């Protein structure tokens, strides 16, 4: 199930990113509009995006300007979108519960019905990902009453504070979170700090699709599409949803889970991180400040593991790759958004068309022929393609850091 097992052909594959945000979400780029999303999605190699934030009144006004393809697909300059959003549920049921859910909807008409119901529960005009005190069960039940075609996916399922399996979310299982509505949850989103392999260790996920999206807060290519799902058909909303519900997706694109912000345990302000084994020795207490550590994803996966991954018969292939900007920064010892990085990135895109082509498909021979002076970078691109870039794990809101190890070169 590693990178090398995928076909080297891009034919009949579409890379999709259905969990993104707009300029109306907090901590997001104010230039996050459809023009920039489409421009950078094409440069990345994505073939379909979610609109993000359909609950926000101003962004919905922008969404309504898209051309309606009549089959649940909407277009900006012939680039396809489906309607998507994210909701935050924070409520008390014996103890505090919190979760983020990704929503996919088949039409503007359905979106307006969702929004009308949410207006009876609170405000949705202050953020692209509004917060409501609704239980998971009540929310899913109402969505299915509005339309059976609405898809609800627990977002970044393992992150500590709002992932369904997160250490601070209040849940240990999908059943506990959704009760009788668990049958209407067909997939979970890995999030950057977990990989499909980690999710295969839970028996409760054996019949669920494992999907990946970026949860991007900007349009830059080291954010947009950094995680994605690979589909075989995007001609209609119905066909997209069927692939999720029937778990016939082709696979996913993942960053190394250590690259995620919550892979290890730790305290960002104390500049302290620890593996699950180290945390156990510390009894979960930070040696710097003496307070409880934020328990990360790897620790939670170990806690909830109840099977060997071979027991999951529905495993899909996946790529484990870092964004090209990260690889260039590693090769050049430069900042990810530096002029030096951009100059190299743009030259590679001009030659090979889009980032996924470079990261996954361009042959070593073609890379060397086009950029004979970039042997270090090309070596790292090939190692990245094979999932062999070491990453020092992220923790408590800090991204993991790729590092160069002394290894035998591939070139």
Q: pLDDT tens digits, residue range 318-374?
A: 999 999 999 999 999 999 999 999 999 999 999 999 999 999 999 999 999 999 999
Count CB neighbours of 31 within 10 A. Answer: 10
- The verdict on residue 83 lying in a domain is yes
Assess if residue 399 is contained within a domain: no
Q: Assess whether pLDDT exceeds 60 at residue 193.
A: yes
Q: How far is 394 from 343, CA to CA, in rounded Å?
A: 28
Q: pLDDT tens, 225-242?
A: 999 999 998 999 999 999
Question: Taking the CB of residue 91, how many other CB atoms lie within 10 A of it?
Answer: 17
CB 44 within 8 A of CB 230: no
Q: Is residue 191 part of a domain?
A: yes
Task: Kindly indicate the confidence band of residue 408, based on its pLDDT and cuts at 50, 70 and 90.
Answer: very low
- What is the per-residue pLDDT across 59-83, written as a single tens digit (0 to 9) for each? 999 999 999 999 999 999 999 999 9
Q: Answer yes or no: are the C-beta atoms of 19 and 215 closer than 8 Å.
A: yes
CATH code where residue 187 lies: 3.20.20.140
Q: Residue 10 — pLDDT band, cuts 50, 70, 90?
A: low
SS3 45: coil
Domain that holds residue 105: 9-259
With bands split at pLDDT 50, 70 and 90, how would you rate the model's confidence at 12? confident
Please, is 123 exposed, middle or buried when counting C-beta atoms within 10 Å of its C-beta (0-12, 13-18, 19+)? exposed
Coil/strand/helix, residue 229 = strand
Please count the other Cβ atoms lying within 10 Å of the Cβ belonging to residue 65.
9
- 292, 299 contact by CB (below 8 A): no
List of E strands, 57-178: 67-68, 74-76, 79-93, 95-105, 131-132, 151-154
Q: Are residues 242 and 330 in the same domain?
A: no
Q: List the Cα angle 23/229/384 in 5-degree steps.
A: 95
User: In this structure, is residue 280 part of a structural domain?
Assistant: no
Q: Is 224 helix (H, G, I), strand (E, B) or coil?
A: coil
What number is the average pLDDT over the span 248-259?
A: 97
Query: Do residue 330 and residue 247 come from a single domain?
Result: no
Q: 242 and 123, same structural domain?
A: yes
pLDDT confidence of residue 233: 87
Q: Quick one: 61 and 153 in the same domain?
A: yes
The radius of gyration computed from the CA coordinates of the chain, to the nearest angstrom, equals: 21
| pLDDT for residue 211 is more than 80 | yes
- CA gap 300, 291 in Å, rounded: 19
Same-domain status, 361 and 238? no
Q: Are residues 239 and 339 in the same domain?
A: no
Rounded mean pLDDT of 145-168? 97
Residues in the chain: 411
**Whether 224 and 364 share a structural domain:** no
Using an 8 Å Cβ cutoff, are 163 and 192 in contact?
no
CA distance 166 to 171: 7
Task: Determine what percent of the chain is predicted with pLDDT higher than 90.
Answer: 92
pLDDT in tens, 278-331: 999 999 999 999 999 999 999 999 999 999 999 998 899 999 999 999 999 999
Higher-confidence residue: 33 or 7?
Answer: 33
User: Which pair of tokens denotes residue 344?
Assistant: 């190299």
What contacts 51, CB < 8 A, 6 or more positions away? 20, 22, 59, 63, 66, 74, 81, 82, 83, 84, 85
Neighbours of 160 (CB within 10 A): 22
Using the predicted structure, report yes or no on whether residue 4 has a pLDDT greater than 50. Answer: no
Whether 272 contacts 265, CB under 8 Å: no
In 235-296, which ranges are continuous DSSP H helix?
237-245, 276-281
Please tell me whether residues 173 and 55 are part of one structural domain.
yes
Give the model's confidence band at 1: pLDDT under 50 very low, under 70 low, under 90 confident, else very high: very low
Strands 265-267 and 151-154: unpaired
Answer yes or no: is pLDDT of 407 > 70: no
Q: Is 249 contained in some domain?
A: yes
- C-alpha closest to that of 39 among 396, 355, 250: 355
346 domain-assigned: yes
Alpha carbons 236 and 239: distance in angstroms, whole number: 5
Q: Is the pLDDT at 11 greater than 90, yes or no?
A: no
pLDDT band at 3 (very low <50, low <70, confident <90, very high): low
Name the residue among 23, 42, 45, 401 with its Cα closest to residue 217: 23
In a domain, 297, yes or no: no
Residues 33-45 have pLDDT tens digits of: 999 999 999 999 9
Number of domains the chain contains = 2
Give the chain's mean pLDDT.
95
pLDDT in tens, 113-138: 999 999 999 999 999 999 999 999 99
Residue-wise pLDDT tens digits, 174-184:
999 999 999 99
pLDDT at 247: 96
In the predicted model, is pLDDT for residue 9 greater than 60? no
Residues 312/206, Cβ–Cβ less than 8 Å? yes
Question: Do residue 141 and residue 252 come from a single domain?
Answer: yes
The count of C-alpha atoms lying within 13 angstroms of the C-alpha of 215, restricted to the half-sphere facing its C-beta, is 27
Measured over all CA atoms, what is the biggest interatomic distance in the chain, rounded to whole angstroms? 63
- Return the closest-CA partner of residue 191 out of 170, 168, 217, 215: 215
Domain boundary among 211, 240, 259: 259
Is 218 inside any structural domain?
yes
């Amino acid at each position: 199930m590693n990178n090398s097992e995928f076909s080297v052909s891009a034919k009949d594959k579409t890379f999709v990113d259905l969990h993104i945000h707009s300029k109306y979400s907090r901590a997001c780029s104010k230039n996050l509009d459809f023009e920039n999303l489409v421009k950078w999605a094409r440069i990345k190699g994505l073939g379909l995006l979610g609109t993000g934030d359909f609950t926000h009144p101003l962004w919905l006004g922008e969404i309504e300007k898209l051309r309606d393809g009549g089959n649940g697909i909407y277009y900006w300059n012939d680039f396809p979108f489906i309607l998507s959003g994210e909701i935050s549920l924070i409520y008390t049921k014996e103890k505090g519960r919190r979760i983020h859910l990704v929503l996919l909807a088949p039409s503007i008409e359905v979106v307006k019905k969702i929004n009308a119901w949410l207006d009876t529960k609170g405000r949705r005009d202050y953020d692209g990902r509004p917060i409501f005190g609704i239980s998971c069960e009540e929310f899913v039940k109402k969505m299915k009453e509005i339309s059976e075609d609405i898809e609800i996916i627990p977002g970044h399922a393992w992150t500590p504070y709002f992932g369904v399996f997160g250490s601070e979310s209040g849940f240990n299982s999908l059943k506990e979170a959704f009760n009788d509505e668990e049958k209407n949850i067909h997939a979970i989103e890995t999030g950057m700090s977990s990989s499909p392999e980690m999710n295969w260790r839970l028996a409760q996920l054996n019949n669920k699709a494992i999907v990946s999206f970026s949860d991007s807060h900007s349009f830059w290519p080291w954010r947009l599409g950094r995680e994605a799902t690979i589909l075989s058909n995007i001609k209609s909303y119905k066909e997209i949803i069927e692939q999720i519900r029937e778990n016939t997706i082709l696979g996913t694109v993942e960053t190394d889970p250590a690259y995620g912000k919550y892979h290890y345990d730790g305290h960002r302000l104390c500049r302290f991180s620890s593996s699950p084994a180290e945390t156990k020795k510390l009894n979960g207490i930070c040696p710097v400040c003496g307070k409880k550590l934020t328990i990360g994803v790897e620790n939670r996966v170990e806690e909830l593991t109840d099977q060997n991954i071979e027991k999951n018969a529905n495993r899909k292939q996946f790529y484990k790759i870092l964004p090209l900007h990260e690889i260039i920064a590693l090769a050049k010892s430069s900042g990810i958004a530096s002029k030096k990085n951009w100059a190299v990135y743009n030259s590679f895109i001009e030659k090979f068309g889009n980032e996924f082509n470079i990261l996954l498909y361009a042959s070593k021979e073609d890379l060397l022929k086009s950029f004979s002076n970039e042997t270090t970078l090309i070596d790292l691109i090939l190692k990245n393609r094979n999932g062999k870039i070491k990453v020092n794990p992220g923790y408590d809101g800090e991204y993991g850091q790729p590092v160069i190890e002394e290894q035998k070169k591939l070139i």
